[in-house]
Structure 1
């Protein structure tokens, strides 16, 4: 099987062609496991972005006219190619942003599932007829693609967050340009190669790498772009809302999170601890839906803590390319320093380290590694209880009543994901209805699937991705009144 990217000669994919930046500038992508340069990537800007937008506009004229069945065939080719090149795609992710290799392979499967789902769901973009109040009128509603879409994707799930956006856009009949995060652009370039191999018409998908500023400026100022979909921080999301207002562009946002993970006194503690591990330490704690605050009922907190600490100590930390590693590095130095700051703040305010609590040394010194950590005696005054933590640190917070923990869990501007463990079905219903989050796992720490809507409330975003709802933001409703 041929290599899908040449690390020594990486280029952007624009209008079916592989191009360098017009400025000939590049920037380096650093492997966070080793501190070494993985590759140099084109540093594109406004000119390249405009070329991609113009190409997408031209391609939209024909792509939007294809039948849903025809578009589905292209999506299924991408689905098959992602499975065919799974190991290579996973290796790229591990090298550029530090995702453990085995976990990265799982992301490829997850990313591909969005092409399969939207290939099928695109056939169900239904309209409707409305009873008329006049015998000589017929009233209809049809749904049509919004037009050219720009997808700005994050580094922590460089493939899945892209396919979740692009799959919906293409299925709806839109064309798209992709701007990946600067920490993980090689995955997007590899995806561009799959687009080429799938025979998708030129201009339907382009991939632009480079600094966010000039690329984003062109996206938001160019009237051809009708919709922008963004996954990233709440702070940046708010800026994009302001930028989108000048042209009233359609905007969907998947932003920050600070997920509560609640363990009630009647929970299966072994299952809850296993779930907490899966949620908290996946991708080294660098996910917007991971457990950030672990609330445990006072009557079982000691037992649960012992079970959790035992499991955390068994996690293998190391170079992300090692298939046996479960916890890799932080993506950059800033992320590592933030984790250290939050742990120090917690300790200064009375928290205890139950395990971990420092950088990993030895042969991993050159990388950005932090020990999988559990903190006890955590209180609401500590930074870690209200600032989003992108790292492998689990704070355990005691509670005494259902009402108390719901109030504490909801006491945040974020509203993306939440989790709780209980064996009481009445409590499950009460708590699910009371928690203010867009995604909820009850006795389930990894609820996200392609066929269900993903998104948050409050300051965690707007719009939904995945599920049949995931097509809505890529479609416009058109009402037709026909006189006969």
Structure 2
């Protein structure tokens, strides 16, 4: 095994030592091996990064939009060149199968590309004035310094999702990757140097949320905060940002319902239900958390579902044949196992899995068996709370109205799924299903040109597409008279 690498902070286009000598140890969740030692920024380090971004902002924001886009295009080419290397970094630090990590790298490219392609579409307006000859100009302008805080489940794509539109729109950017998975973002920082990014427009400060994240949120230099993570963390960020009346965009947890009606293509629905639940070991905010199946097709669906889940191969995520890797940490694994045991206490039946995988290489990592639960009902904790793990809860519904009512009975409102061939049901669903993102007759996976957002405890604001890009600019109104 190669010697673990030591990483510093990335500030002003160069590697910079933190004020303290403390470092986070980054481990491979599949093997427990030490991958790297990463600097832990202190408040002074965060302030330095923000000041550097602030100093770089005037020149960067005055560039023609297409010139800013050209830097992003150069970065995209380097990501393409190093796609396999980046995928292996993602798999090593996060644990997702290599084939999924490659998809993440491509998604990161698409997110940056959309921002670069569409920055010229950040259009203002000209409105007739209230005086003779007057014009009212409404102009789109960058906020200034944007702070990003990202989660561990998509370490490269989440950085790209925030960095691309922030820089394209003329802001400068400081990001705190999650302390469990900073290596993908640090690799992206290396590529930004090779792409010739002006110094200070992209900065990376590593460390925990209580220190680094709080310092980013509360510093008056920060004008916009964009965060992906848990709902409790989002509440803390929003509260901390309120003192400075800062704009906040929060993409938080989810509890997606997956609805299968009696006229659905059962094979397609089963395939999508498994993909939407077990991808990335269930560690996806849009994952299928509650599977509602019409009673008329419930037995047939369950039979095919069992076969599909049983066939999943769990193991070494670098193996091309692996379908599911480990949980990100022992703590997360224990949380999921506790939720399954509680569900059983409340009356659920374990059809498959329901345990930690042990023996051989499994003992080195955080592996949990793909789990299928039946006899599940809406009163159980596992139906109300986000699992964020490889547990599929199957729930019988009597009809469409029952499915919609149970699906909407949640404090989350990010994503939902619907399988039906009935156009009337689809039309009703668009009005009655209270989720910001709905997949009809397909598995999950948002597009770079879409808009990824939710309601309730799933956050405020949104990411991606033109609506997401618009979040990275403010407006200025000018009453123009000769």
Q: Would you say same fold, with TM above 0.5?
A: yes
The offset of 1:366, in angstroms, is 1.8
Cα distance in 2 for residues equivalent to 1:55 and 1:49: 10
Cα distance in 2 for residues equivalent to 1:218 and 1:350: 45
The offset of 1:216, in angstroms, is 2.2
The offset of 1:6, in angstroms, is 8.8
Q: 1:464 is paired with a residue of what secondary structure?
A: coil
What are the within-5 Å matches in structure 2 for residues 57-136 of structure 1?
57-136=54-133
Measured against aligned partners, the alpha-carbon deviations of 1:296-323 in whole angstroms (never above 9, x if no partner) come to 0111111001111111111111022222
Measured against aligned partners, the alpha-carbon deviations of 1:267-290 in whole angstroms (never above 9, x if no partner) come to 000000010111101100001110
Contact 1:355 1:372 in 2 (8 A): yes
Partner of 2:284: 287
Partner of 2:334: 337
Q: 1:159 is paired with a residue of what secondary structure?
A: helix
Contact 2:5 2:35 in 1 (8 A): no
Contact 1:267 1:423 in 2 (8 A): yes
Cα distance in 2 for residues equivalent to 1:448 and 1:122: 20
Q: 2:249 is paired with a residue of what secondary structure?
A: strand
Cα distance in 2 for residues equivalent to 1:340 and 1:220: 34
Partner of 2:144: 147
Partner of 2:202: 205
Q: 2:67 is paired with a residue of what secondary structure?
A: helix
Contact 1:440 1:447 in 2 (8 A): no
Cα distance in 1 for residues equivalent to 2:5 and 2:270: 44
The offset of 1:100, in angstroms, is 1.0
Cα distance in 1 for residues equivalent to 2:172 and 2:298: 51
Alignment partner of 2:176 out of 174, 179, 185: 179
Q: 2:178 is paired with a residue of what secondary structure?
A: coil
Cα distance in 2 for residues equivalent to 1:220 and 1:237: 11
Contact 1:45 1:211 in 2 (8 A): no
The offset of 1:27, in angstroms, is 1.5
The offset of 1:68, in angstroms, is 0.9
Q: Does 1:369 align with 2:400?
A: no
What are the within-5 Å matches in structure 2 for residues 49-60 of structure 1?
49-60=46-57
Cα distance in 2 for residues equivalent to 1:6 and 1:190: 17
The offset of 1:350, in angstroms, is 2.0
Partner of 1:238: 235
Partner of 2:438: 440
Runs of 4+ in 1 over 4 A off after TM superposition: none
Cα distance in 2 for residues equivalent to 1:112 and 1:41: 25
Point out where structure 2 has 5 or more consecutive residues left out of the alignment: none
Alignment partner of 1:165 out of 128, 141, 162: 162
Contact 1:376 1:397 in 2 (8 A): yes
Q: Does 1:476 align with 2:482?
A: no
The offset of 1:447, in angstroms, is 4.2
Partner of 2:252: 255
Q: 2:7 is paired with a residue of what secondary structure?
A: coil
The offset of 1:402, in angstroms, is 1.3
* TM-score, with structure 1 as normaliser: 0.97
Q: 1:29 is paired with a residue of what secondary structure?
A: strand
Partner of 1:394: 392
Measured against aligned partners, the alpha-carbon deviations of 1:104-154 in whole angstroms (never above 9, x if no partner) come to 011000011111101011011111111223222111111100000000000
Measured against aligned partners, the alpha-carbon deviations of 1:26-64 in whole angstroms (never above 9, x if no partner) come to 111111111221111111121111111011001101000
Cα distance in 2 for residues equivalent to 1:367 and 1:323: 18
Cα distance in 1 for residues equivalent to 2:461 and 2:58: 26
Partner of 1:298: 295
Partner of 2:456: 458
Cα distance in 2 for residues equivalent to 1:100 and 1:292: 20
Aligned length: 480
The offset of 1:65, in angstroms, is 0.5
* TM-score, with structure 2 as normaliser: 0.98
Q: 1:353 is paired with a residue of what secondary structure?
A: strand
Contact 2:128 2:134 in 1 (8 A): no
Point out where structure 1 has 5 or more consecutive residues left out of the alignment: none
Cα distance in 2 for residues equivalent to 1:421 and 1:262: 6
Q: Does 1:15 align with 2:16?
A: no
Cα distance in 2 for residues equivalent to 1:23 and 1:110: 35
Contact 1:138 1:483 in 2 (8 A): yes
Partner of 2:215: 218
Single out whichever of 175-184 and 130-139 deviates more from structure 2: 130-139
